Amino acid sequence: MPAHHSSRKPWPMKWIVVSIVVFVVGYTVVNLYFRKPGKAYRPYQDANDRATTARLLAAGWHKLPLDTRRPIEKAALDHAPAPIAHGAVGLGLDFAPNFAEAPKLVASIDKVTAPAEVAHGQDYSLHFTASVTDQHLQLGELTLYQRGNELVLVPETEKLPGQQLMTRWNDATHAVTFATTALPPGRYSARIVARGPAATWSFTVK
């Protein structure tokens, strides 16, 4: 008995490809149209950020606004420079417990130029040179924390975009400025933290 052959013709391969393309394009358009603006939801990172913020506030720390830039000129001070010393490695035992996840710090703080005093209400400006151990990294976010008469500057690293981009030098100098309007006159201790020893100094708000 001869085998029975179906009369249905197979769907041409080109139409299968066309249907897949139409689906992918349509899905992409709908996804982009209805996607909420802003950063993507990062459950783990967002939870750590909230925990860190809560711990810092509970410990009395808060952030001060910063202006940062890569200077093209040498540091010029209106007052005598403050003597710079070296402190604890990393965030320090007094500061590290406030972070749910340790920030990715620069390798070292190689040089700091900062004034020993500033008039109340004026901006306080400093220059610092930081090094990274991996040329695929660069200085990213800079955050200044204050608690009473203590100031801590936290420079974090970030990866350069792309796989092949590299920095030309392992170190770079940065300028940081913050207002003293919220700082009562008095003596302040400051430090810039790194994976290596922190750079520490004191200055007076007059």
pTM (2 d.p.): 0.72
Mean pLDDT within 119-135:
89
Read off the pLDDT band of 44 (50, 70, 90): low
Average predicted confidence (pLDDT) for the chain:
79
Per-residue pLDDT, 30: 46
Rounded to 5°, the CA angle 150-122-199 comes to 35
> Given a cut of 70, is residue 41 above it in pLDDT?
no
Q: Are 185 and 120 in contact (CB under 8 A)?
A: yes
- List, in order, residues 6 or more apart from 189 with CB less than 8 Å away: 149, 150, 151, 200, 201, 202
> Residue 149 pLDDT > 60, yes or no?
yes
Residue, of 94 and 28, whose pLDDT is higher = 94
pLDDT for 189-200, tens place per residue?
A: 999 999 999 999
Amino acid at 93: L
